[in-house]
Amino acid sequence: MSGGDWKDMYNAAHSGDLALVRYHIEAGVNPNYQHPEIMRTPLVTSLLQGHTEVARYLVAHGASVHLLSDYDSLTPLQAAQQVGAVEMVRWLRQQGAQLPPKPPWWRRWLAGLV
């Protein structure tokens, strides 16, 4: 059990409060957890809000550059691309991030039938 608070850390990642994110990570909060009420990773939210220092810190302390955010189905790389953060896209790729594979054509076709 950690001494930190995931929701407080998530809010800090959203607002760009690196000191508070650092506090919660050091207290043992899992940066890859997605709370069922929020369903988004702190890394994705920090990227969408343009908080690159927070994003870099999260990755340096265990946040996965591959983890899909449940709420919006975005990977960190897609989140950085969505907001036009070219430097972060480049950096995330250097960290091993890749775009998820496109679904096969027939899956897109079937989705239109449902």
What CATH number did the domain enclosing 18 receive? 1.25.40.20
Q: How confident is the model at residue 74 (pLDDT cuts 50, 70, 90)?
A: very high
pLDDT above 80 (res 48) = yes
d(CA 63, CA 43): 7
Give Cβ neighbours of residue 77 (< 8 Å, ≥ 6 apart).
65, 89, 92, 93, 97, 98, 99
- Assigned token pair, 68: 């899909």
- Closest-CA residue to 34 (of 11, 51, 58, 10): 10
pLDDT above 80 (res 2) = no
Give Cβ neighbours of residue 104 (< 8 Å, ≥ 6 apart).
none
Give the HSE-up count for residue 2: Cα atoms under 13 Å, Cβ half-sphere. Answer: 16
pLDDT above 50 (res 1) = no
pLDDT above 70 (res 105) = no
Whether residue 1 is contained in a domain is answered as no
What is the reported pLDDT for 76? 96
Helix axes 6-15, 18-26, angle to 10 degrees: 150
What is the reported pLDDT for 40? 94
pLDDT above 60 (res 6) = yes
Whether residue 51 is contained in a domain is answered as yes
**Backbone CA torsion sign across 10, 91, 73, 59:** negative
For residues 96-114, average pLDDT: 70
Number of domains the chain contains? 1
pLDDT above 70 (res 23) = yes
Whether residue 67 is contained in a domain is answered as yes
Whether residue 53 is contained in a domain is answered as yes
- Domain of 22 in residue numbering reads as 6-113
